[in-house]
Every structure is written in structure tokens, then in C-alpha cells.
């Protein structure tokens, strides 16, 4: 069993998290609780923990200060569970390598996904290099890029990809942009448009077939996006490239 420390200044929240699911079935046990960051640091120095789940807004020492202090002496996986969706906090969380950012009230399924991901990471540690693996920021971003490149012809969503990684979609989206410098929707558009250009140049597929092949069922929408991306419509692009008419 892996020990978990839960940090929240609301007694009701601590109780809610403790009884949200069958912890032992997931391979974890709630081995400690704290009501603020300073108390949490004391707990962390008293015994070993494999995961910290913390609120952000707390008296004495808030969650971000706790994570910053924790990173001075340990690389324990940390997850944030907050009632506030704050991009600035999410961005700071990325810098500290926070595992996930869950919003209250958290569903049992969300927490179980987080625990499954952390357990997989903990189980695979011990001599196994995880550089580039899906449990690292760079690895998660590469997973997203690979998924889009393999599924661009289908409906693609960050929520669907995040479920593959047992991560919160909003947090994965922030992580992806931080790692790649481009937003998820812009990346999907780029992959689809570049593939559409390839098909227009190198095949005799009709324009509507090209649109469908890269995930667009609405021809008007495809025309609009293609012209925004390339500056010309698909037919003119093909003509300039010397391809077959469509």
C-alpha cells in the first residue's frame, strides 16, 4: 500500500475525500491529514508518503507554498484538489510538476484515474528510466501529439485523450501548451491542414473526400479553415501545386 497525505483546511473536505472511495482497493491508504501547508510539512518529515493531495487556499501556508517547500527536499507526486479553476495556479502547478489539478467536488472516478496513474508510475520506478514516458510532462505532450497524428480523421478532443492518460483535460491542455508552445485546437488544425495539403497535392481525391479524410464533414467549414490556414481555397491550392482537379 502507498501512503497518501491529504491537506485541506476544511474538516468536511478531509472526511469527504477519505470516504470518497475504497482506497485500499486502489493500492493506497490515507495515512495522514493536515489542515495547512506548514502542518503538512511536519507530517512529511515524520513519515514517508508516496502521494500528497492538497487544496490551494489554506491559512498559515497555502498549497502552492507547500509544494514549493516540498520540492526543496522531495520529489513526491502531488495532486491539487481545489474548488477554484485558476489558470495562474495551473501554470504554477506545471512548473512544480504537479500530477493533476482536480476540481471540487471531485468525482470518485476522477480520483481513481489519478490514483491509477500515480500507482503505475510508482510501480514502474526502481531502475526503470521513465524519460519521455506518459507520466512526465514531455511524455504526456508527445502522447497527445502522437494521438492526434494517428486519429486526425476522427473526432478528436482533449477530454478523450486525457481519459487515456487518467488526467484532467483542462490540466493536460495547459501542460500541452506549456510543453509545445501551441494550443491543442491549433495543433489539431495544423495536423489536419498539413495532411489536407498532402492529399490535394499527391492524390486525385475530390475535395470533399479530402475534407472527410482529415476529419471535416462540413464542406463549408473545411473550406473556411483551409483558406484561413493557407490563404487560398482547396481548389486553387491544388491547381498551384499542380495536382489533379477536385
Kindly report, residue by residue over 178-213, the tens digit of the pLDDT: 889 999 999 999 999 999 999 999 999 999 999 999
pLDDT at 215 over 90: yes
Beta-bridge partners for 52: 5, 78
Per cent of the chain over pLDDT 90 is 56
Q: 185-241 has which CATH code?
A: 1.10.10.60
Of 3.40.50.720, 3.40.50.620, 3.40.50.2300, 2.60.40.420, the CATH number of 2-124 is: 3.40.50.2300
pLDDT at 160 over 50: yes
Residues 154-177 have a mean pLDDT of: 84
Mean residue pLDDT across the chain: 87
pLDDT at 123 over 90: no
pLDDT at 128 over 60: no
What's the confidence (pLDDT) of residue 122?
A: 84
Burial category of 218 from C-beta neighbours within 10 Å (exposed 0-12, middle 13-18, buried 19 and up): exposed
User: Which strands form 28-34's sheet, in the order they lie side by side?
Assistant: 28-34, 2-7, 51-54, 78-82, 100-103
Per cent of the chain over pLDDT 70 is 91
What's the confidence (pLDDT) of residue 246?
A: 47
Lowest mean pLDDT among 45-59, 75-89, 227-241: 75-89
Total-model pTM = 0.57
pLDDT at 106 over 50: yes
Amino acid at each position: 500500500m502507498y501512503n497518501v497525505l491529504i491537506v485541506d483546511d476544511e474538516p468536511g473536505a478531509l472526511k469527504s475525500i477519505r470516504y470518497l472511495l475504497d482506497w485500499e482497493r486502489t493500492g493506497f491508504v490515507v495515512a495522514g491529514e493536515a489542515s495547512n501547508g506548514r502542518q503538512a510539512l511536519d507530517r512529511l518529515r515524520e513519515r514517508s508518503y508516496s502521494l500528497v493531495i492538497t487544496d490551494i487556499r489554506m491559512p498559515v501556508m497555502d498549497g502552492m507554498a507547500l509544494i514549493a517547500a516540498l520540492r526543496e527536499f522531495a520529489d513526491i507526486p502531488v495532486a491539487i484538489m481545489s474548488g477554484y479553476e485558476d489558470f495562474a495556479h495551473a501554470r504554477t502547478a506545471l512548473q512544480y510538476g504537479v500530477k493533476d489539478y482536480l476540481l471540487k467536488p471531485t468525482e470518485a472516478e476522477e480520483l481513481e484515474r489519478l490514483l491509477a496513474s500515480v500507482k503505475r508510475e510508482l510501480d514502474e520506478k526502481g531502475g526503470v528510466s521513465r524519460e519521455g514516458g506518459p507520466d512526465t510532462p514531455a511524455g504526456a505532450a508527445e502522447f497527445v501529439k502522437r494521438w492526434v497524428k494517428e486519429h486526425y480523421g476522427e473526432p478528436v478532443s482533449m477530454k478523450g485523450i486525457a481519459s487515456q492518460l487518467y488526467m484532467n483535460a483542462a490540466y493536460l491542455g495547459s501542460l500541452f501548451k506549456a510543453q509545445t508552445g501551441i494550443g491543442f485546437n491549433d495543433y489539431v488544425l495544423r495536423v489536419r491542414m498539413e495532411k489536407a495539403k498532402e492529399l490535394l497535392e499527391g492524390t486525385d481525391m475530390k475535395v470533399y473526400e479530402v475534407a472527410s479524410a482529415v476529419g471535416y464533414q462540413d464542406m463549408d467549414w473545411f473550406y473556411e479553415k483551409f483558406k484561413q490556414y493557407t490563404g487560398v481555397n482547396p481548389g486553387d491550392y491544388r491547381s498551384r501545386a499542380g495536382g489533379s482537379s477536385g
